Amino acid sequence: MVDQPKHARIAEEIRRQIRDGELVEGARLPAVREWAAELGVAVGTLRQAQSWLELEGLIRTSPRGTFVSDNPPTASSSYDRLLRLRRTGSILGIGETKTVQSAALVVPPLYVQEIFDLERGDQLVRREYVTGKGSRRTSFTVTWHPAHFAAAVPDLLSTAPRKSDDALRQVEENLGRAVKYAHDGTEARDASQREAAALGIAIGAPVLAHVHEWSDDEGLIEYGEQVLPPRTVIGYEYRL
């Protein structure tokens, strides 16, 4: 296994801080020499990382210095949210909001029944919500959970603000079910009428549709479908 180059590790850490809201939009970043010394790396290494981030539109450079972009085109993937939940206890970053539009026990469509290996007519917990930052809507998400989770984690059926930001942590604590395996899939397509209304974009606008399956040795814990608006960047860190 080969370690990532230093500039790649630094770039990913800065991305994470921007996604998590630790580095706020418009924030001025330290001078390069000062920051490089703080990180214990060469100035050239930090400049490589910054060049990468500038190309992605996450930071901007001017004669006054280097700043986090005022409207960075970044959003959290399911992988990012799962790691954030482990770090902070919430799927949301600092300054991020979540508006739950519906939460109920319902009979799911056939394809979701098959994903959970249900009998026809069995129910699941279905949640639908929009995340945002400031006036910007960053994602529209529908998640599904086994029906019996609702008895142990009533917040799964709540639409109250911030009630279920740590629902997966409650699942782990109350049911002993922690995500051990994850599978993601991504598709570029046009926004449906429901997705366009939720994200405040035109029907048929290009979106990035993202699905995830989170499970443990007992089976599925969460299946989710997330839609990201146009001009949004997500990324993954991985090793080969």
128-132: Cβ within 8 A, 24+ apart: 128/100, 128/101, 128/102, 128/103, 129/98, 129/99, 129/100, 129/101, 130/98, 130/99, 130/101, 130/198, 130/199, 131/76, 131/92, 131/96, 131/97, 131/98, 131/99, 132/96, 132/97, 132/98, 132/99
Instruction: Summarize pLDDT for 191-219 with one digit per residue, the tens.
Output: 999 999 999 999 999 999 999 999 999 99
Helix (H, G, I), strand (E, B) or coil at 236: coil
Q: Average pLDDT, whole number, for the chain?
A: 91
Res. 73: pLDDT tops 90: no
Q: How many CB atoms lie within 10 A of CB 84?
A: 19
> The domain that contains 32 carries what CATH number?
1.10.10.10
If asked whether residues 14 and 46 sit together in one domain, one would say yes
Average pLDDT value for residue range 90-114: 93
Res. 79: pLDDT tops 90: no
> Is 234 within the bounds of a domain?
no
If asked whether residues 141 and 168 sit together in one domain, one would say yes
Average pLDDT value for residue range 83-101: 89
pLDDT confidence bin for 239, thresholds 50/70/90: low
If asked whether residues 36 and 121 sit together in one domain, one would say no
Res. 140: pLDDT tops 90: yes
> Is 63 within the bounds of a domain?
yes
Res. 1: pLDDT tops 50: no
Average pLDDT value for residue range 21-48: 93
Contacts of 194 (CB under 8 A, 6+ apart): none
> Is 73 within the bounds of a domain?
no
If asked whether residues 35 and 145 sit together in one domain, one would say no
pLDDT confidence bin for 165, thresholds 50/70/90: confident
Res. 2: pLDDT tops 70: no
User: What does the pLDDT read at residue 91?
Assistant: 87
User: What does the pLDDT read at residue 195?
Assistant: 96
If asked whether residues 35 and 86 sit together in one domain, one would say no
Range of the domain at 156: 78-228
If asked whether residues 211 and 166 sit together in one domain, one would say yes
User: What does the pLDDT read at residue 135?
Assistant: 83
Last residue of a domain, one of 50, 68, 86: 68
If asked whether residues 169 and 120 sit together in one domain, one would say yes
> Is 87 within the bounds of a domain?
yes
Res. 84: pLDDT tops 70: yes
- The count of domains in the chain is 2
> Is 233 within the bounds of a domain?
no
pLDDT confidence bin for 227, thresholds 50/70/90: very high
